[in-house]
Structure 1
Amino acid sequence: MLRIIAFEIRKLFEQPMIYLFFIASLLLNTIYIATAGLDHSYLNYIQETRVKTGTIITSEFGEKLSNQPSSKKQQRLLTETAELKNVFQHYSTEALGQEMIDFFQIQGSVAEKMKRKYEKLTPVVHELAEEQAALDVGAAGETMSVFTFIRNRLFHVILGESLIFALLLGLYGSTSERLTKTDVLVMTSKTGRKTQVSKYVASFILTILFYATMVMLTFGIFNYMNPIGTLWQTSMSTQFHVNVYFPQLLEIPFIPWQPMTLLNYTILSIVLGGLLITLCHGFNFLVGLWTDQLFRGFIVFVVIYVVLLGLEQIINQMGWWNMHSLLMWHPISLWKVQGYWFTEMGPYATIPWQESIAMVVNLFLLGIGGILTSKFYTTKEVK
């Protein structure tokens, strides 16, 4: 089997579209990073200043900063850190839950679940208060720009590209014999059909390799163009960084289910993104087996995607919160709310760590789908 997997991987590497897609994605990411518009001079100043003043904004921090050579950047940093306080010291998660319910007009049993969710957030807030996470200077006024670019934009682009690659490679992996018109020769025997397992493993390995390489190269380019250094160790819950919910603007403190730095948050997002890519690849591989044609399988995926988007819009318009709550467990919905992963997630979750639990549940369902498909495929007539 290992020999067949190696052979299938080699066949995939012979496809020029893989290289073209990879180069195009990396080029797009590089352009995106180059046009990010981050204030490099101010970021560099803050990193140099943090070494002398410390990272937590206290009265001592202000005194040390005042003793630094006078400049526009110093005055800006003094202004931005002048009146900050530990917002988590007496923060009420119950009040936050009620604010969320009122803002989004959540009703019924979902509202009760939301209240219980925010009650469970209380110990996290106490821990953030003890750590003085809200007083972490980070990049001061530039923190939101840097964190939002990394968390909501750059990683979202990488994940989107990798999901498209997983979609196409999953479909191609299971329909390649049909494309080359060798399916009648290969798939008419039981042994021949077992090669689909090797094709799945080969296309999965290449999908994960694409994702891992894209993550390393893109973040490597970002660090080269925007060396943020010690800012990777900044708390995600600094007062300069907030969670923003749309379409109406609702800004609340950034509260993950456990205290995290930017580096911790990014690594966890990459891991969870890998699971989402695994789901996308596996689902579309199964779709390819059922439809027996790449284009037909792609149409099936697009139809499912469009139907889910349309259903989500109808549910939101009608205020059907029970259905909205169920829809948030779907992989497509999980990708859409990627920017809120590991936080309380507002109206997009009713339990702690819902995005992580939902991913595990979906992987379990994918396994069941794989078992059912294998039984179907062993008796399927080759046309």
Structure 2
Amino acid sequence: MLRILLFEIRKLLEQPIILLFFIACLMLNTIYIATAGLDQSYLNYVQDTKTKTGSFITSEFQEKLSNMSSSNQHNRLLTETDERENIFNQYSTEALGQEMIDYFQIQGSMAEKMKIKYEKLTPIVHELAEEQAALEVGAAGETMSFFTFLKNRLFHAILGESLIFALLLGLYGSTSERLTKTDVLIITSKTGRKTQVTKYVASLIIALLFYVTTVTLSFAIFNQMHTIGTLWSTSISTQFHLNVYVPQSLEIPFIPWKSMTLLNYILLSIALGGILVFICHGFNFLIGLWANLLFRGFVLFVVFYVSLLGLEQIINHLNWWDMRSLLMWHPISLWNLQAYWFTEMGPFSTIPWHESIAMAVNIILLVIAGILTARYYSTKEVK
């Protein structure tokens, strides 16, 4: 088993397209990072200033800051931290829930579920108020730019690249014998059919290795170009960072279901992203077994995805909120919602920790689909 597994891994790694795709993704991510437009000089100034004033906006912080030598960056920091308050004191999650319901015109049972969800958010807000998370300076006015780029753009791109790779590798892993016309030799014996398990494990290892390597190198390149230092330990719920549902119309405090720093949030997102890669690879491997051809399996996936997007647009237009909430459990929808992971998710969910529960549900569905496919494949006829 191990010998065959190593052989299958080597066979996949010998495919030039895998290395080319990895290099292309890394180059795109590097260009993306280099052109991010982040104000590194201001971040450095704020970092240096915090060592003298402290990391929280208090009266002592403002007094020390006002006594420092004047400059454009100093004046900007003074303006951005002037009269800042702990926004989580007396913050009403019930009012936030009603704001969501009114803005998106949510009706029926969905509206009641939304109210219950936001009631459950109240203890989290109290915890953030006690920690004074909202008063953390971070990078002041540049906090939103850095946080948004890291978690909503760079990681979103990395995860998207990894999912594309996992989807294609899953299809290729289960249809490669057909491409080389050796499928007859595989299917005609029980031992041959069992090699598909080895192919699955081999392609999964490569998919996860691609994801881990791309994440590690991309964030290392970012950290080399943009040294953000103590920003990693800043609360993700600082008032300088908002959760944006509709720009300039619906921007609310960033409230996760558990108090987190930027580093905690990114690491948790990376872990959950790995699970999503595992799920998408698995489903497409099974699609390949049923479709029997790489191109046919790819067409089936694209048709399904396009249909899903079309259905989502129709449901959004008709305001069928109950139906819309069901679509949010699909793996591709979970990737689309990655910017809202671990938060209340606004109109996209009615339960806490939606993304984590949805991942668990998808793993269960993958196991069931795997069992059904194994029964089909064990009696599959050679064509």
| TM-score, length-scaled by structure 2 | 0.99
Give how far 1:199 is off.
0.2
Work out the CA distance in 2 between the residues paired with 1:93 and 1:15.
53
Work out the CA distance in 2 between the residues paired with 1:233 and 1:57.
16
Query: What does 1:1-383 align with in structure 2 at a 5 Å threshold?
Result: 1-246=1-246, 249-383=249-383
Amino acid at match of 1:220: A
Where 2:252 maps in the other structure, the secondary structure is: strand
Give how far 1:98 is off.
0.3
Give how far 1:205 is off.
0.3
Amino acid at match of 1:330: H
Q: Is the 8 A contact 2:175 2:293 kept in 1?
A: yes
Percent of counterpart pairs with the same letter? Answer: 76
Work out the CA distance in 2 between the residues paired with 1:70 and 1:196.
68
Q: Which runs of 5+ in 1 are unaligned?
A: none
Amino acid at match of 1:346: G
Work out the CA distance in 1 between the residues paired with 2:248 and 2:224.
36
Give how far 1:113 is off.
0.4
Q: Is the 8 A contact 2:187 2:380 kept in 1?
A: no
Q: Which runs of 5+ in 2 are unaligned?
A: none
Where 1:303 maps in the other structure, the secondary structure is: helix
- How many positions carry a matched residue from both structures? 383
Give how far 1:64 is off.
1.4
Work out the CA distance in 1 between the residues paired with 2:301 and 2:35.
33
Work out the CA distance in 2 between the residues paired with 1:187 and 1:16.
27
RMSD: 0.8
Work out the CA distance in 1 between the residues paired with 2:83 and 2:116.
33
Deviations 1:67-113 (A, max 9, x none): 22221111110110011100100000000000000000001101000
Give how far 1:246 is off.
3.1
Amino acid at match of 1:6: L
| TM-score, length-scaled by structure 1 | 0.99
Deviations 1:226-265 (A, max 9, x none): 0001100111111100011037831001000011100000
For the structure 1 residues 37 and 248, does the alpha-carbon distance in structure 2 shift closer, same or farther, using more than 3 Å as the test?
closer
Which moved further from structure 2: 123-132 or 63-72?
Answer: 63-72
Q: Is the 8 A contact 2:151 2:339 kept in 1?
A: yes
